Amino acid sequence: MKTSKNRRWRLGAALLTTACLGLTACAESDRGGSGSDSGSDSGSDSGGGGGGTMVFAGSAEPVTLDPFFASDGESFRVARQIFEGLVGTEPGTANPAPLLAKSWTVSEDALTYEFELEDGVKFHDGTDFDAEAVCANFDRWYNAPESAQSPDLTYYYGSLMRGFATGPNADAAVYESCTPAEGTATVKLAKPFAGFVSALSLPAFSMQSPSALEEFQDDAAENPTTTEYSTAQPTGTGPFMLDAWERGDSVTLKANPDYWGEKASLDSLVFVAIDEPKARADALENGEVDGFDLVGPADIAPLEEAGFQIVNRDPFNILYLGINQAVKPLDDIRVRQAIAHAIDKQKVADASMPEGTKLADEFMPDLVNGWTEDVTKYEYDPDKARDLLEEAGATGTTIEFNYPSGVSRPYMPAPEDTFNVIRSQLEAAGFTIKPTSDRWDPDYLAKIQGTPKHGIHLLGWTGDYNDADNFLGVFFGQKSFEWGFENKELFTALDEARALPTVEEQTPAYEAINEQIMEYLPGIPLAHPVPSLAFAAGVSGFQPSPVQDEVFNTVTIEE
């Protein structure tokens, strides 16, 4: 008995020692080369484009694979590979372009849209993509059960189409009906919506296989984001198909061999989630991933020096200094003008934003319809700021300056640094600043948007699609705690512009509103920071999009 115990003890010890030694030795040999080595022998054998496996890191896991129930960027990133909408975007812009719809015509009253559809397109499950399928999708969205009408599930449909067939906002619904015909689908709207075609470029409006939806999806489920369809059976017409989604690990897509457009070069595309920007950069440098999104400003130069590619998106965002007019003396236009003249935007951008950042003169980027050169501009002039402040009798008044900590957003990469530069500029112009910092999640937004207890603050927005209302309407569409002003003229102008039937009519209306806003100066638009992605040297063909309409079928990777 004793002998056997001793033997076991020795055997155990020997095994453990071997394991430990082996662990170190092999760790060394296995990782010596490039990380992509293992892809060639153990990657998925989907038989697609013959171009290997690409691993791409985002900042989080997707929430769901049914884009109708998604509003987060990571779900949309995956959705754009699997699904396509009637409308896409012109490469490198936010402008709508044909996708599953070859073309469209709009009736005179802007209430009827006729979409001519691509022929011969099939969903991944073999179902035909035709006018019936289009109308099935429109009807599905419109008839979403009330349990699914919550903004955490159907944010985009709810906010853009204003209402569903049932529920509290049914009267406001923009959609009326869809009629299928041979090769065309005719959508009738109940009221004009100039941004309709643009909105259809959002992944939330992707075309999904009616038969797969019928079989695997249950929109009335308590959590439609976690059904069989939403986690394992998403079925679209895109260049990639779902291979497997292992929660907490990765989403693996394989090339769609029957794709109707330009087939994917890659065999498979794997999305992984790495929370921290620095950890994503480390993973790229170590060959564990081939590319990643949201490069931290501090990582750009080291990555470039190490031979990695940095790809910039045209910024489709805005960082601004908000002003709460509910707090005195910020309701005085002269004080707001003084703040505007006190800030040297170029210095702010140089100190806290990546290279390529554009300075902002209004509350939306120049890619958006309604942007105009002709707005009042407030050049950097600290003397003028001091004079204005004195004129307003506000010299030396203490102003609370709120900024978030523990966060980096694409429109606000380093808020602490941005705060520090602006603070010193404001103090140099005669302001007394009381800094207040709150954790981003969830204290900061709750304070700024949910209470009147703040002064000036840093915040911003990334646009979803090409519509001025998606910027201006979000900020100034109604009275809010964030801005603390009641400007009926502005609210009405925004309401009216939104209701205009066509983009052509909206353009001059929004240009006028931009002029009005910059004269009223509710806040100071600061910059449009450029969002960056990084790729390994062997990756090519990635086409950045300001609205992240980025499909990987054009991407190739050197093995």
Partner 1 sequence: MLRFVLKRIALMVPVLLGLSVLLFAWVRALPGDPARALLGERANPESIARVTERYGFDEPLLEQYLRYLGALVTGDFGSSIRTGQSVTESFLERFPATVELALAALLFAVLVGIPVGYLAARHQGRPLDTIVMSGSLLGVATPVFFLAILLKLVFADWLHWLPTSLRQDARIDATHLTNFYVLDGLLTREWDAAWDAMVHLVLPGLALGTIPLAIIARITRASVAEVLNEDYVRTAESKGLTRRLISRRHVLRNALLPVVTTIGLQAGLLLSGAVLTETVFAFNGMGEYLFDAIGQRDYPVLQGFILFIALIYALINLLVDLAYGLIDPRVRVS
Q: Would you tell me which residues interact with partner 1 (CB under 8 A)?
A: 16, 20, 23-24, 26-28, 30-32, 35-36, 38-39, 42-45, 53, 55, 61, 63-64, 71, 147, 149-152, 155, 222-226, 246-250, 270, 272-276, 279-280, 282-283, 285-289, 441-443, 445-446, 449-450, 459, 461, 480
Q: Tell me how far, at minimum, the Cβ of 55 lies from partner 1, in Å.
A: 4
Cα separation, 128 vs 303, whole angstroms: 45
Burial class (CB in 10 A: 0-12, 13-18, 19+), 192: middle
β pairing state of 317-323 and 175-181: unpaired
Task: State the nearest-atom distance from the C-beta of 260 to partner 1, in Å.
Answer: 27
| Minimum distance, C-beta of residue 545 to partner 1, in the bound complex (Å) | 20
- CB of 205 vs partner 1, minimal distance in Å: 17
Q: Which is nearer to partner 1, 129 or 164 (CB)?
A: 164
In whole angstroms, the minimum distance from the beta carbon of 148 to partner 1 comes to: 10
Which residue's CB is nearer to partner 1, number 390 or number 443? Answer: 443
Q: Report the residue number, 63 or 178, with the smaller CB distance to partner 1.
A: 63
What does 409-476 look like in DSSP terms, one character per residue?
BTTBS-HHHHHHHHHHHHHHTT-EEEEEEEEIIIIIHHHHHH-S--SEEEEEEE-SSS-GGGTHHHHH
Minimum CB distance to partner 1, residue 211 (Å): 24
Q: How far is the CB of 445 from partner 1 (least distance, A)?
A: 6
Q: Closer CB to partner 1, residue 256 or residue 462?
A: 462
Going from the C-alpha of 538 to that of each of 39, 40, 266, 289, the distances in angstroms are 14, 15, 13, 12
Output 73 or 455, the one with its CB closest to partner 1: 73
Residue closest to 471 by CA, chosen among 484, 461, 481: 461
Dist. CA 418–CA 348, nearest whole Å:
6
Nearer to partner 1, 318 or 385 (CB): 318
Within 10 angstroms of residue 81's Cβ, the number of other Cβ atoms is 24
| 8 A C-beta contact, residue 48 and residue 257 | yes
Complex with partner 1: residue 235 or 268, whichever CB lies closer? 268
Closer residue to partner 1 (CB): 431 or 465: 465
453: left (phi over 0), alpha (psi -120 to 50) or beta: beta
Q: Among all chains, which residue has been given the structure tokens 């709207």?
A: 189
Q: Which residues pair with 240 in a beta bridge?
A: 255
Least Å distance, CB 515 to partner 1, is 25
**What is the length of the chain?**
559
**Cα 210 from Cα 94, distance rounded (Å):** 28
Q: Which of 133, 175, 134, 135 is nearest to 154 (CA)?
A: 175
Which runs of E-coded beta strand occur in 24-135?
53-58, 87-89, 96-98, 101-106, 112-117
Q: How far is the CB of 89 from partner 1 (least distance, A)?
A: 21
Nearer CB in complex with partner 1: 196/461 = 461
Give the CA radius of gyration of the chain. 26
Nearer to partner 1, 17 or 432 (CB): 17
Minimum CB distance to partner 1, residue 228 (Å): 13
Residue pair 360/318 in contact by the 8 Å Cβ criterion: yes
Residue 200 to residue 224: CA distance in whole angstroms: 21
User: Cβ distance 272 to 289 under 8 Å?
Assistant: yes
Nearer to partner 1, 39 or 430 (CB): 39
Beta-strand relationship, 240-246 and 184-189: unpaired
Closest approach of Cβ 29 to partner 1, in Å? 9
CA–CA separation, 137 vs 144, rounded Å? Answer: 11
